[in-house]
């Protein structure tokens, strides 16, 4: 068996004391930066690149950098749940129900659910990477501009499901997000749009700045309205571990989330960011109690967290099999490899089997370390909530500012945080939710770019979207989702049918 | 008036004295090299390799800071307004010359805001295509492109990117406008080339060499006077039928205007040492490029290069009529 030999080689490479040590350092650092609001994996890995010169061994360096990446995915959900402060698009979804669970005093359970979901997803997707990397790459390459456009349409249609209030308000937020996403240089013509003449916005608004603003800062402002209620809320923290019912409620969402994340993570053109959103939509649709979503539903944390972690792992596939980065973190990993004298390309697996399989094996080991590390830490994180708010919020603000600045060393990103904090606060007052806005913001540029590229490639023929089979299938899914959303009666009838069958 | 002149004279002599003092002890603390692009990209990698070797020679740490955005003009602008003390440097590529024309409103004066340290490397470009494109050689590709000019697509990594410049040059060399498909960065452009979604691209060997040797894309020519060691079977544009179509992504190190000449000389010496470092030579070779010669790693050579390249690209960009602001 080739696969077993390869995995054996991988595990023997990854489980030397030296490499285990680097893996541990990586996941520890990753957890830490994930927990600190605003500081992301990209900035940290960029800062640590010079260190890889000193480490000397490419396998060890990459094991450590990879550990930081998926460690940060674990840690990122912690701030989303505890203080409604998502550090990246995926944890923005976790914040919706995770933070509500925390407000109900179930922060510990939410954190545990996120950790268990992530571990399951990490384990499954690691084996997917090991077994199916080459065929999955072939599928990813079938995705052209038309397919990405249709995928983004599915994502946007699903965005409506993110809202738990008015559909009209959710639509308005998606559109506002789309418009904000247009700020920056137009990829096709190269001209700057809506930048107000500020060159610092030529590459668009920074996602971290917008997310930290509309979620985190807005939430701080809201909490400061009434200091006392906040303390009361936090005083009743109870039950660190998930209950038996929680386990029952999270099992299926974790499996579904893992499947969704694994598939979307392979797509280099922004598929992974859709994973958490898509999983949330699916969970809300299949749930027997969709009204619980947005009020602390267990499935709303378990599904997206699993999807997010699975996507993070499978996004290694394009890099390992083609030498192409799926996101900025992967670009940094490629940079690290080149510094070590390995230029990643389509032959990495055959030219550097120890590196290739060592990294894959280390992912599973790293995930194991993360769950062992994180479960005992939950008590500590929850204790943080008992810190008086007047002490906590300045600290949060300080870390946010440092974190956001560290992404691009750009002060204009800090102005954006302030502005979007205010906007987020106003939106909260108007009962408009930030999650659909964020999804629109992330998907808008991808939607436009791929639409225009698809039209260029088809020489202006719009039928390209329905004559390409993959694209047509995705659009059909979008229509189906739309029908389900727009016709509540469809859903009601279906429920009745089920009731009758059971009776 | 006399008083003013006198104080100016005193101030000037102080400034000169401190400059001289700076030069004697330089460098006595950490140096920052600004890369005007994201970490992990080809320019960033070149910078880190060279910075590591230069810091050994200078006996001080060199920190690489990525100030990406607006086609490299944000990072260049940052260095243009930094203290001219030799502790803030810029490593930029050919974009330094092309942005002088691509951007009509720059925050700095390209020829007036910098001192020069030297050229670092000139990365060759390769003309590549999806692996199932029919033509087997460059002549065939040119004929094919001319015959199918409405359907042949040329990918690039965005306005001002190396692949954009080389694509423009290719189209002007074959005197046929083709369908240009811009992407946001080399990664997605290369993915679509691998997937056969687009036909042709012209990009740096740092991005293409491994794909060519791996057989995932087809290569037609390299845009250098001589064949490359890393790709010995690949003909040059001269050999393959497009004589004179030569372009390289040259990289240079700059310092803010007013940096003492002693400092830039010292840095230039250190750059020359770094470019002979065995690690730098070996890593550059893997990327399909070679360090600049000792004669090119000098302030004068970089200044001449920048001036000639601004003049070379101005008419090409103006003819294309596409600006980045």
CA distance B75 to B70: 9
pLDDT tens string A3-20: 788 888 989 988 899 999
**Hey, do B31-122+248-320 and B124-240 end up sharing a CATH topology, with the first three levels equal?**
yes
Which residues on chain B are in Cβ contact (under 8 Å) with A45?
Answer: 39
pLDDT tens string A150-204: 988 888 887 766 666 677 888 899 899 999 999 988 888 778 888 888 877 877 8
Residue A98 tokens, joined: 């995770």
Helix intervals (H) in B59-178: 73-80, 95-102, 138-147, 162-173
Phi and psi at A353, nearest 5°, equal: -60, -35
pLDDT at A227: 61
Cβ contact (<8 Å) for A331 and B187?
Answer: yes
pLDDT tens string B23-35: 568 888 999 999 9
- Nearest chain A residue to B208 by CA distance is A345
Higher pLDDT, B234 or A337: B234
pLDDT tens string A25-53: 999 998 888 887 767 777 788 878 878 77
Those residues with Cβ within 8 angstroms of residue A75's Cβ, 6 or more apart along the chain or in another chain: A30, A31, A32, A33, A34, A35
pLDDT at A493: 47
Residue holding tokens 């080389």? B166
B210 touches chain A (CB under 8 A): yes
pLDDT tens string A417-431: 999 999 999 998 998
pTM of the model: 0.82
Cβ contact (<8 Å) for B66 and A456?
Answer: no
DSSP SS3 for B248: strand
Does the pLDDT value for residue B136 go beyond 80? yes
pLDDT-based confidence at B2, cuts 50/70/90? low
Q: Is the CATH number 3.40.190.150 carried by domain B31-122+248-320?
A: yes
Buried b (16+ CB within 10 A) or exposed e, B263-276: bbebbbbbbbbbbe
Quickly count: other Cβ atoms within 10 Å of residue A296's Cβ: 20
CA distance A29 to B1: 62
Where are chain B's structural domains?
A: 31-122+248-320, 124-240
| Rounded average pLDDT over A61-69 | 90
CATH architecture, range B124-240: 3-Layer(aba) Sandwich (3.40)
Q: How far is B84 from chain A (nearest CA, A)?
A: 20
Under a CB-based contact definition with an 8 Å cutoff, are residues A277 and A162 in contact?
yes
| Rounded average pLDDT over B301-320 | 91
Residue B74 tokens, joined: 């944000």
Average pLDDT, chain B: 88
Phi and psi at A259, nearest 5°, equal: -65, -45
Count of alpha carbons within 13 Å of B11, Cβ hemisphere only? 6
Which residues on chain A are in Cβ contact (under 8 Å) with B215?
Answer: 346
Which residues on chain A are in Cβ contact (under 8 Å) with B287?
Answer: 338, 343
| Rounded average pLDDT over A368-390 | 83
Q: Which of residues 293-322 of A touch B (CB under 8 A)?
A: 318, 322
**Range scoring the smallest mean pLDDT among A154-168, B55-69, B168-182, B274-288:** A154-168
pLDDT at A161: 64
pLDDT-based confidence at A223, cuts 50/70/90? confident
Does the pLDDT value for residue A500 go beyond 50? no
Which residues on chain B are in Cβ contact (under 8 Å) with A334?
Answer: 40
Does the pLDDT value for residue B220 go beyond 80? yes
Site from B49, B50, B69, B153 to mutate, A interface, most A CB atoms within 10 angstroms: B69
Q: What is the ipTM of this complex?
A: 0.81
- Nearest chain A residue to B73 by CA distance is A199
A239 touches chain B (CB under 8 A): no
B151 touches chain A (CB under 8 A): yes
Does the pLDDT value for residue A271 go beyond 70? no
| Rounded average pLDDT over A369-390 | 82
pLDDT-based confidence at A75, cuts 50/70/90? confident
Share above pLDDT 90 across residues of chain B, in percent, rounded to a whole number? 60
| Rounded average pLDDT over B40-65 | 90
Higher pLDDT, A234 or A4: A4
A339 touches chain B (CB under 8 A): yes
Does the pLDDT value for residue B55 go beyond 60? yes
Which residues on chain A are in Cβ contact (under 8 Å) with B37?
Answer: none
**Range scoring the smallest mean pLDDT among A334-338, A360-364, B312-316:** A334-338
**Range scoring the smallest mean pLDDT among A64-73, A331-340, B44-53, B216-225:** A331-340
Question: Number of CB pairs < 8 Å for A and B?
Answer: 157
**Range scoring the smallest mean pLDDT among A362-366, A484-488, B84-88, B238-242:** A484-488
Does the pLDDT value for residue A127 go beyond 90? no
pLDDT at A236: 55
Does the pLDDT value for residue A231 go beyond 60? no
């Amino acid at each position: 068996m080739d696969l077993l030999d390869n995995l054996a080689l991988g595990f023997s490479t990854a489980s030397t004391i030296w490499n285990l040590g680097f893996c541990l350092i990586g996941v520890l650092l990753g957890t830490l930066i994930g927990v600190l609001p605003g500081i992301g994996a990209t900035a940290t890995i960029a800062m640590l690149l010079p260190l890889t010169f000193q480490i000397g061994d490419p396998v060890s360096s990459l094991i450590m950098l990879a550990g930081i990446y998926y460690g940060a995915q674990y840690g990122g959900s912690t701030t989303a749940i505890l203080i409604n402060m998502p550090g990246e698009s995926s944890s923005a979804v976790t914040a919706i129900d995770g933070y509500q669970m925390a407000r109900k005093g179930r922060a510990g359970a939410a954190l545990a659910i996120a950790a268990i979901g992530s571990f399951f997803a990490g384990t499954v997707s690691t084996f997917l990477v090991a077994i199916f990397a080459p065929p999955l790459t072939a599928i990813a390459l079938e995705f052209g501009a038309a397919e990405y456009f249709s995928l983004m349409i599915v994502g946007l249609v699903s965005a409506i499901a993110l809202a738990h209030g008015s559909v009209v308000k959710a639509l308005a937020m998606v559109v506002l997000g789309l418009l904000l996403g247009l700020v920056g240089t137009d990829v096709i013509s190269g001209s700057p749009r809506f930048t107000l003449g500020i060159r610092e916005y030529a590459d668009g608004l920074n996602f971290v700045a917008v997310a930290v603003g509309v979620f985190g800062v807005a939430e701080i402002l809201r909490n400061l309205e009434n200091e006392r209620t906040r303390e009361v809320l936090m005083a009743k923290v109870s039950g660190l571990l998930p209950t038996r019912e929680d386990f029952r409620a999270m099992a299926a969402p974790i499996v579904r989330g893992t499947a969704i994340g694994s598939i979307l993570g392979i797509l280099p053109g922004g598929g992974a960011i859709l994973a958490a959103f898509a999983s949330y939509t699916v969970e809300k649709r299949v749930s027997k109690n969709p009204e619980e979503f947005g009020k602390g539903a267990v499935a709303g944390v378990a599904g997206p967290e699993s999807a997010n972690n699975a996507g993070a792992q499978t996004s290694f596939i394009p890099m390992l099999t083609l030498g192409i980065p799926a996101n900025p973190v992967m670009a940094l990993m490629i940079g690290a490899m080149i510094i070590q004298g390995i230029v990643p390309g389509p032959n990495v697996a055959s030219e550097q089997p120890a590196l290739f399989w060592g990294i894959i094996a280390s992912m599973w080991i790293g995930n194991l370390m993360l769950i062992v590390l994180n479960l005992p830490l939950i008590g500590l994180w929850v204790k943080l909530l008992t810190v008086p708010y007047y002490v906590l919020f300045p600290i949060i603000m300080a870390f946010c500012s440092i974190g956001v600045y560290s992404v691009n060393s750009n002060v204009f990103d800090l102005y954006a945080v302030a502005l979007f904090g205010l906007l987020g606060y106003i939106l909260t007052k108007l009962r408009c939710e930030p999650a659909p806005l964020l999804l629109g913001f992330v998907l808008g540029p991808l939607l436009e770019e791929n639409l225009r590229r698809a039209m260029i490639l088809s020489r202006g023929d719009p039928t390209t979207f329905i004559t390409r089979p993959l694209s047509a299938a995705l659009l059909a899914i979008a229509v189906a989702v739309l029908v389900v959303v727009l016709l509540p009666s469809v859903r009601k009838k279906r429920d009745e049918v089920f009731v009758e069958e059971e009776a | 008036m006399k008083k003013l002149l006198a104080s100016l004279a005193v101030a000037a002599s102080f400034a000169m004295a401190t400059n001289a003092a700076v030069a004697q002890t330089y460098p006595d603390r950490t140096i920052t090299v600004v890369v005007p692009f994201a970490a992990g990209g080809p320019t960033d990698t070149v910078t880190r390799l060279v910075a590591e070797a230069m810091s050994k020679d200078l006996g001080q740490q060199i920190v690489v800071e990525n100030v990406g955005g607006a086609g490299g003009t944000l990072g260049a602008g940052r260095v243009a307004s930094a203290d001219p003390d030799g502790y803030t440097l810029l490593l930029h590529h050919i974009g330094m010359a092309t942005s002088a024309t691509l951007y009509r409103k720059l925050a700095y004066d390209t020829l007036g805001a910098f001192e020069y340290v030297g050229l670092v490397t000139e990365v060759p470009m390769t003309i590549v295509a999806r692996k199932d494109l029919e033509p087997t050689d460059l002549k065939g590709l040119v004929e094919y492109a001319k015959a199918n000019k409405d359907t042949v697509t040329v990918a690039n990594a965005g306005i001002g990117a190396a692949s954009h410049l080389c694509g423009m040059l290719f189209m002007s060399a074959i005197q046929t406008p083709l369908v240009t498909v811009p992407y946001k960065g080399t990664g997605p452009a290369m993915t679509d080339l691998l997937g056969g979604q687009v036909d042709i691209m012209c990009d740096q060997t740092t991005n293409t060499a491994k794909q060519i040797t791996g057989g995932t894309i087809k290569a037609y020519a390299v845009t250098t006077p001589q064949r490359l060691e890393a790709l010995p079977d690949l003909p040059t544009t001269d050999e393959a039928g497009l004589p004179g179509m030569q372009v390289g992504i040259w990289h240079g190190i700059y310092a803010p205007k007013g940096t003492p000449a002693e400092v830039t000389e010292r840095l230039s010496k250190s750059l020359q040492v770094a470019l002979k470092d065995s690690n730098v030579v070996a890593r550059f070779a893997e990327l399909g490029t070679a360090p600049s010669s000792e004669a090119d790693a000098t302030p004068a050579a970089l200044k001449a290069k920048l001036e000639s390249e601004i003049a070379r690209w101005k008419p090409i960009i103006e003819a294309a009529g596409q600006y980045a602001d």
